[in-house]
Amino acid sequence: MIIPVLASICVLILTIWFYIKNTMSYWSRRGVIQIENKHFWSREFFGTTIRDKYQYGKSLNQKYIGTYIFSSPVFFPIHPPLIKNVIQHDFSHFRGHGNYNEPKDILSMHLFNVEGEIWKNLRVKLTPTFTSGKIKMMFETLLEKTHGLEKVVGDYADRKAACDIKDVLGRFTTDVIGSCAFGIECNSLEEPDNDFRCYGKKVFERAPSRLFYVIFIPHWILMASDFKFHGKEVTDFFTNLVKSTIKYRQDNNIVRKDFLQLLIQNDSVTVDEIIAQCFVFFLAGFETSSTAMTFALFELASNQHIQKKLRGEIEEVLKKFNGNLTYDAVIEMKYLDMVVNDNVNAQDINNYVQKISILTFYYLVQLDSSKNQNGTKYHSKYHTPEIGRYELLVVFNLEAVDM
């Protein structure tokens, strides 16, 4: 009895060992340098792991390397022209970021999460919302919020007190997005503990268990148990907020100059889609912008000559616009643009992007080699038909991209 049991255990262990070996040699079997992952119990920040892999691949003079996220093969471009192809020339072939999205979990169905045809259709519907004319219209709404910022920072300056600028700017961007995307006055600058700010902070609280569920538990089981990635409380708060604001505007014929209004007027967008897109504005806009501004202020404080030059430009342009800060005035501030862009690039505000390819690995290798082929079809020895649609993730480090 004992021998068959032992034999079965050995067969099981060997099968698992071969499976892992086979999966984790996907790239090396194709002649691509591969960088393996740290142990799964490593607590290192994912962005740091990505940066290290990028720098290692670069030190080996590789145009791309292969790596893995769990058992999925990941193509990791390093050579800037290759990355440029992914984000510019072939943008439409990389439809999605490989994130969790489920129609029953309304907040998950936003532009940054959805994939394939759903992403493409949503993008087509939303593109008219982002014309420069419409952004210009929203500028007024944004400008109103700067008065509160001026007051809070001014109070600190008058008292000669130290100011936690990250917190103040987080409250400022919360107020801007609350107003532009949700059409509400949340006054976080004056009332730091209001509901919008509290629920907003909860969105960014780490919930490792929910991440674990979406990776390891089949989604049909999660949906059957009414799972919400951001938790039920946060989901209900943002859903009800948008629904009640839409109803209030429709019942009272109120029209505001904000993103929500543009979405309401766009007949092709459903209410659930509006809720998810307002939410992504908050998700993608609040922390990124406040972090970028915090770093920019730190750099300006550390480099007084740049600060002086920037102040000079701002004063000069404002004089031309009779002291009024308008959209056109900001567009004329070229040095400001350079300072902001340089800062976003240098500070790793968002240090990598992960994308899902609808192409095959064959295509990606072809991309790299096509420049010598004069347009003739390139038959690569790496052609691997078994890697098909949506199975290949592409990750790249933004350090390599000249944005």
Residues that bind ligand HEM (CB under 6 A): 87, 111-112, 123, 280-281, 284-285, 288-289, 292, 344, 349-350, 353
Q: Which is nearer to ligand HEM, 280 or 364 (CB)?
A: 280
Q: Which is nearer to ligand HEM, 222 or 296 (CB)?
A: 296
Q: Which is nearer to ligand HEM, 262 or 280 (CB)?
A: 280
Neighbours of 10 (CB within 10 A): 10
Q: Which is nearer to ligand HEM, 115 or 227 (CB)?
A: 115
The answer to whether 367 touches 85, Cβ cutoff 8 Å, is yes
Tokens 């300006």 locate to: 300
CB of 42 to ligand HEM, least distance (A): 24
CB of 283 to ligand HEM, least distance (A): 8
CB of 39 to ligand HEM, least distance (A): 28
Q: Which is nearer to ligand HEM, 71 or 270 (CB)?
A: 270
* Angle formed by the axes of helices 271-302 and 304-320, nearest 10°: 120
Q: Which is nearer to ligand HEM, 92 or 369 (CB)?
A: 92
* Cα separation values, 199 from 194, 206, 272, 282, 300, Å: 9, 13, 19, 11, 32
Long-range CB contacts (< 8 A, 24+ apart) of 255-261? Answer: 256/141, 256/183, 257/137, 257/138, 257/140, 257/141, 258/138, 258/141, 258/179, 258/180, 258/181, 258/183, 259/129, 259/138, 259/180, 259/181, 260/180, 260/181, 260/182, 260/183, 261/183
CB of 289 to ligand HEM, least distance (A): 5
CB of 95 to ligand HEM, least distance (A): 9
- Cα 126 to chain centroid distance, Å, stands at 17
CB of 98 to ligand HEM, least distance (A): 11
